[in-house]
């Protein structure tokens, strides 16, 4: 029987979702936790019956000696924590986005190669059954030649009013780097990561500086730590194969009250497959538009949500792949690709021109 991997988590915000995966997996044992907030650290350790408790990740890596580490810190801290964990001999699951720059992302990939460890990305929305159905359809050829992809994540009142989301120094950006990273990954993943050739983008910062459309806050109440990032944007991408992609992301806009939805549309010569998820729901999320016997038809697929999903399914999948000696399905190279796209988006918006990759 394969020995369980000794797992650790750095950062117990979204790290709680990773913990659920480790605790329910037959392939891992959660042995250590690290968080700067000692109260949260002690409570989590008690809830999950984890003995190793640390407020410094370097100390944790030295003493606990984990086999795999989830890095769930603010974006600007992803690179140093990931590189330290890799150099300590651990595989790493890094939260999105991989880093705040292409240069940092390349350093992380290089560190994984030098340590001969796996660097994996936490793209939890790949692990929804409807997303996986879309990916299989895209790669099966059923849609014919896919010539265009629409991706979006739109919120009506959705600017985070906590943490460091509004700080460019800590997060690297706003809505595009927070929400856009997920749908950019979904679109590229479903298409097999085609080479992006050029990007033309525009961003805006209209609501955040005034404290408007912020979760959990009264209108006009200032956001902690200030706000110097984008609260919305859009982009047009061209790939080397000639396929195009349109992206729209908003933390805030005037639309249906409380709207929070993301989606992917794959337009092909033989059909269009569409994923549209509202409020993180599971019902009625898929459509397939095609022709049958000369008539335009709408097919409503039904997929089952009866197993693990999201972060829990992601952790289970990555652990199983490592235990079987397989290359993980969500890699550091894919994370680097998405950061390259994001960096080019912001550069295009800042310079007001198309950027070639």
Nearest residue to 184 via CA among 140, 267, 249, 281: 249
In this structure, what are the phi and psi dihedrals at residue 328, rounded to the nearest 5 degrees? -55, 150
d(CA 186, CA 194): 12
343 within some domain: no
In this structure, what are the phi and psi dihedrals at residue 230, rounded to the nearest 5 degrees? -75, 140
Q: Which of 264, 289, 306 is a domain's end point?
A: 306
SS3 of 256-275: CCCCEEEEEEEEECCCEEEE
Nearest residue to 217 via CA among 166, 170, 173: 166
Q: What digits encode the pLDDT tens for the residues 19-31?
A: 999 999 999 999 9
Number of domains in the chain: 2
Q: Positive or negative CA dihedral for 16, 7, 90, 185?
A: negative
Q: What pLDDT does 75 receive? A: 94
The domain that contains 22 carries what CATH number? 3.40.50.720
Report the alpha-carbon angle 308-313-318, nearest 5.
155
334 within some domain: no
329 within some domain: no
d(CA 184, CA 245): 9
Strands 286-292 and 232-239: unpaired
Nearest residue to 313 via CA among 17, 85, 52, 28: 17
Residue 19 DSSP class: H
Q: Are residues 10 and 114 in the same domain?
A: yes
Q: Determine contact, residues 264/286, Cβ cutoff 8 Å.
A: no
Q: Are residues 17 and 80 in the same domain?
A: yes
Q: Are residues 21 and 146 in the same domain?
A: no
pTM comes to 0.95
Q: E strand or H helix at 323, and its extent? A: helix 310-323
d(CA 345, CA 110): 24
Q: Which of 78, 95, 122 is a domain's end point?
A: 122
Q: Are residues 34 and 179 in the same domain?
A: no
Q: Which residues 6+ apart lie within 8 Å of 79 measured at CB?
A: 99, 100, 104, 105, 107, 108
Domain that holds residue 157: 126-306
Q: What pLDDT does 221 receive? A: 72
Task: Indicate the angle between helix axes 78-87 and 102-115, nearest 10 degrees.
Answer: 10
Residue 245, strand partner residues: 149, 237
Nearest residue to 64 via CA among 5, 19, 122: 5
Q: Are residues 130 and 276 in the same domain?
A: yes
Q: Which of 88, 122, 156 is a domain's end point?
A: 122
Q: What digits encode the pLDDT tens for the residues 236-269?
A: 999 999 999 999 999 999 999 999 999 999 999 9
**H-assigned helices in 9-148:** 15-24, 38-48, 57-64, 78-87, 102-115, 129-140
User: pLDDT tens, position by position, for the chain (357 residues)?
Assistant: 468 999 999 999 999 999 999 999 999 999 999 999 999 999 999 999 999 999 999 999 999 999 999 999 999 999 999 999 999 999 999 999 999 999 999 999 999 999 999 999 999 999 999 999 999 999 999 999 999 999 999 999 999 877 788 889 889 999 999 999 999 999 999 999 999 999 999 999 999 998 899 987 776 677 777 899 999 999 999 999 999 999 999 999 999 999 999 999 999 999 999 999 999 999 999 999 999 999 999 999 999 999 899 999 999 999 999 999 999 999 999 999 999 999 999 999 999 999 999
Q: What pLDDT does 1 receive? A: 46
Q: Are residues 177 and 66 in the same domain?
A: no
Nearest residue to 356 via CA among 234, 197, 244: 197
Q: Are residues 32 and 168 in the same domain?
A: no
106 within some domain: yes
Residue 49 DSSP class: T
In what order do the strands lie in the sheet containing 5-10?
52-54, 28-34, 5-10, 68-71, 91-95, 119-122
């Amino acid at each position: 029987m394969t020995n369980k991997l000794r797992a650790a988590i750095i950062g117990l915000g979204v790290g709680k979702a990773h913990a659920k995966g480790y605790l329910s997996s037959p392939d891992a044992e959660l042995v250590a936790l690290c968080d700067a907030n000692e109260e949260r650290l002690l409570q989590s350790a008690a809830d999950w019956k984890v003995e190793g408790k640390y407020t410094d990740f370097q100390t944790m890596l030295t003493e606990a000696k984990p086999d795999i580490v989830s890095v769930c810190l603010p974006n600007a801290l992803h690179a140093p924590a990931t590189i330290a964990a890799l150099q300590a001999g651990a595989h790493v699951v890094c939260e999105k986005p991989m880093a705040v720059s292409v240069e940092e992302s390349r350093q992380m990939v290089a560190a994984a190669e030098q340590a001969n460890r796996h660097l994996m990305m936490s793209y939890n929305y790949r692990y929804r059954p409807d997303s996986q159905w879309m990916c299989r359809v895209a790669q099966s050829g059923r849609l014919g030649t896919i010539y265009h992809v629409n991706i979006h994540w739109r919120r009506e009142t959705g600017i985070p009013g906590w943490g460091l989301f509004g700080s460019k120094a800590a997060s690297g950006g706003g809505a595009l780097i927070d929400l856009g990273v997920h749908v950019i990954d979904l679109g590229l993943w479903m298409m097999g990561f085609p080479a992006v050739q050029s990007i033309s983008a525009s961003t805006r910062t209209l609501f955040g500086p005034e404290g408007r459309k912020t979760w959990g806050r009264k209108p006009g109440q200032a956001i902690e730590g200030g706000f110097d990032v984008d609260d919305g944007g859009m982009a047009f991408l061209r790939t080397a194969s000639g396929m195009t992609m349109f992206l729209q992301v908003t933390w805030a806009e005037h639309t249906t009250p409380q709207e929070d939805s993301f989606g992917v549309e794959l337009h092909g010569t033989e059909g269009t497959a569409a994923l549209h998820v509202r409020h993180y729901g599971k019902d009625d999320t898929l459509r397939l538009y095609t022709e049958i016997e000369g008539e335009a038809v709408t097919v409503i697929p039904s997929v089952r949500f009866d197993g693990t999903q999201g972060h829990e399914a992601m952790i289970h999948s990555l652990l199983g792949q490592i235990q079987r000696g397989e290359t993980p399905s969500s890699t550091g190279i894919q994370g680097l690709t998405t950061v390259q796209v994001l960096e080019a988006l912001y550069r295009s918006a800042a310079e007001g021109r198309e950027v070639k990759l």
